[in-house]
Structure 1
Amino acid sequence: MTENHPGPGEPVPSQPGIVPLRPLDAGEIVGGVWRFLRRTPWTVLPGLLYAVVVLGTLWLLQPVGALQPADPFDLVGTFLEATLSGLPFGLVAAAVAPLVLAAVLPAVTSAVYGSRTGIAAAWAQGRPRLPALYGVQLAQLVIGLVPIAVGAFVALPLWRAGGVAAAAGLLLVVVVYAAQTWIAILLSLASPAVVAEGLGARDALWRSVELVRGAWWRCFGVLVLVGLTVAAAATVVMIPVFAVTFALMFTVSPTLGLAVAGVAYVLLLGLVLPVSVAAPALLHHDQRGRRSGAVGPPPGERP
């Protein structure tokens, strides 16, 4: 028998919900993510709310946060400017994301065990976990700001000094962002741990580290694979949208074309967000089961 699949003559594990109740391979997690979206289409509504609030706020702040064009030969400076341009998005997203997580994550747990949870019931389960979810988001935001600070105050002056110092500055940027990626994956299961295990923010962060430790590359690979499937689906959807947008801009009205593109982008983000929430939740479920050796819900935990 392999790690993930029963051998001849062995009972096939049940699958009451979106994934089998056994250790999962990457393809089963990806498939489970999309089955979750089909089974609980209402999860698009929190995604749409998120998209409207975040994109609307950024649209209002855009004139204030506009950056000057970067020097294309200033590699470190250009990279930092691109990173800083996304900082408002990260701040607004961190303020809104816990609300979406509180509504969607309980539905993932229910879907794993075959139950269907409506938006009101899911929100009732997730709302008490909001303080811990905000704590996790704050910790992840602070960790995400560290590479920006190091790059701006250490790496950029080194780069602009030229010579050996420039090479050291570029290497520092690479090392810091690699470390940030490593930490981000270590903490990627913290929000599901808050909701599924009822942990506080600090305990959920350590729980995520415990679950990911020894399986970092697997978790990284699964999340990247989900991201690639999302990107592929988004590309398929947006190609005809871009075609219609350009046609409207040049034949009817530029404003109408941009409006169509904006509405399509909001709808797309609303569809993508539940998938992005479900992926770490299913990965948390799988890693938790692998660590404990259990395939069903723990005693007393029933959606």
Structure 2
Amino acid sequence: MIPLRPLALGDIVSGSFATIRGHWKTLAGVVLAVQAIVLPVMALVVGTAVVAVHDHFDPVFDPPFGEDPASEHVVPLVVAAVAVFVLLFVIGVLGVSVIAALCPAVLKEAVMGRSTTFRALWRSSVRRAPAVAGALFLSVLIAGAPVFLVLAVWVPLVASAGSGDGAVALLGLLPLLLLAAVPLTVWLNIRFGLAPAVVVLEGAGPVTALRRSSALVRGDWWRIFGFTLVAVMLAGAIAYAIQLPFNFIGMFAIMPALQGIPEGGGAPSAGVITALVFAFLLVLIGGAASQVFQIGYSQLASALLYVDQRIRREGLAEAILADLAAAPAAGAAPTAPPRPDGGADS
């Protein structure tokens, strides 16, 4: 599926499609399994928080006329909101990390010319997910630092300026500050973009993966940036095309249902409820299908860029071919070759 030579843009695009086409059942199975676990857990977290602070909603959002909400009602809502945000962030990062660990593992089998199974890839993805999550968290923290710094300075200034002309001037200053910070964020994001593939394919830890990614990208930043941009745009466009028919059908299904709702506030009929559930399920299925493709394709393209950099700089193609040639004689399955610097791939 993957040519063992330095890869051009067409090779990255076609190689990602070929990997999805050859392993789509396994990819879709793992991604859907992750969503089947993550989404209910997120719903449970939000539902538990809402039930816990339900009694504080009315005093805060509908206080008596002319009165401000009391602190004993505001504080629980703020604490619950922060706790929900942190928990949802952690759950989301772990879910994305499993998928980010899955795609390089699939690509490894494609490069080596081996088939794989759902169980093997699920185990490999879950095992490497914590390290991938650490690499993703560190890369977001470091790459987002310029934007975080701008906001950390700008928000207190706006708050202290009040509602006068100074606040208006500061509002106009934010785009200029972001214009200076965003390019640095993009540069850092591309520099650390190969870290998930390094974690999975080399068995590295988060910090080592960031250093290794930085070393592989050094000197080829613009090419990797261009390839990554094309892959992300292509994945987004195709994912939108996948989701669009589901949204259209759901919209046409829900319009007659909305017209059938009684004007007097009576209970909707069984047909209306069925149409609403059908439309919701269509939108949900379309969103899941589009996410499976968008996340999978983007991560596969990133992993292919990692393979390309190792082929260009470390003779990975020759090592794989030699390993494959020796494997039948040795009676063992081929394994990924070691790095030139002595590190071992997993």
Q: Whole-Å Cα distance in 2 between the matches of residues 127 and 114 of structure 1? A: 23
Q: Does 1:44 align with 2:28?
A: yes
- 1:291 corresponds in structure 2 to 313
TM-score, normalised on structure 1? 0.76
8 A Cα contact 2:147 2:178, kept in partner: no
C-alpha separation in 2, matches of 1:245 and 1:147: 41
**Highest RCO, 1 vs 2 (Cα 8 Å, sep ≥ 6):** 1
Task: Spell out, residue by residue over 1:34-62, the C-alpha distance to the aligned partner (whole angstroms, 9 max, x if none).
Answer: 11011112111121133344555555649
- Residue 77 of structure 1: aligned partner: none
| Secondary structure at 2:2 match in 1 | coil
How much is the aligned-residue C-alpha RMSD, in angstroms?
A: 3.0
> Which letter does structure 1 place at the counterpart of 2:91?
V
Counterpart-to-counterpart distance in 2, 1:22 and 1:165? 52
Residues 1-303 of structure 1: matches in 2 within 5 Å?
18-41=1-24, 42-56=26-40, 61=46, 91-143=90-142, 146-147=145-146, 149-158=148-157, 161-162=166-167, 165-252=170-257, 253-297=275-319, 302=335
For the structure 1 residues 245 and 89, does the alpha-carbon distance in structure 2 shift closer, same or farther, using more than 3 Å as the test?
farther
How far does residue 156 in structure 1 lie from its aligned partner after superposition?
3.7
| Alpha-carbon distance, 1:149 to partner | 3.2
Q: Which moved more, 1:19-28 or 1:256-265?
A: 256-265
Query: Residues 117 and 210 from structure 1, CA distance in 2 versus in 1: closer, same or farther, beyond 3 angstroms?
Result: same
Cα displacement string for residues 225-283 of structure 1 (whole angstroms, at most 9, x for unaligned residues): 11122122123222222220111111243443223212221122123322222111111
> Residue by residue, what CA displacement relative to the aligned partner does 1:180-233 show, whole Å, maximum 9, x if unpaired?
111111111011011212222211110100111111111111111111221221
1:142–1:124 distance in 2 versus 1, CA, 3 Å: same
Compared with structure 1, are the counterparts of its residues 112 and 94 closer, same or farther at alpha carbon in structure 2 (3 Å cutoff)?
Answer: same
Q: Which amino acid aligns with 1:153?
A: A
* Percentage identity across paired residues of the two chains: 26
Give TM-score scaled by structure 2 length. 0.67
Q: Is the 8 A contact 2:99 2:125 kept in 1?
A: no
Q: Is the 8 A contact 2:246 2:285 kept in 1?
A: no
Q: Deviations over 1:67-124 (max 9, x none)?
A: x9xxxxxxxxxxxxxxxxx998754331222223333322211101211121223344
What amino acid sits opposite 1:173 in the alignment? Answer: L
Which structure has the larger Rg?
2
**Using the alignment, how far apart are the partners of 1:147 and 1:92 within structure 2?**
25
Aligned match of 1:80: none
CA contact (8 A) 1:151 1:173 kept: yes
Q: Show structure 1 runs of 5+ residues with no match.
A: 1-17, 69-85
Worse overlay, 260-269 or 288-297 = 288-297
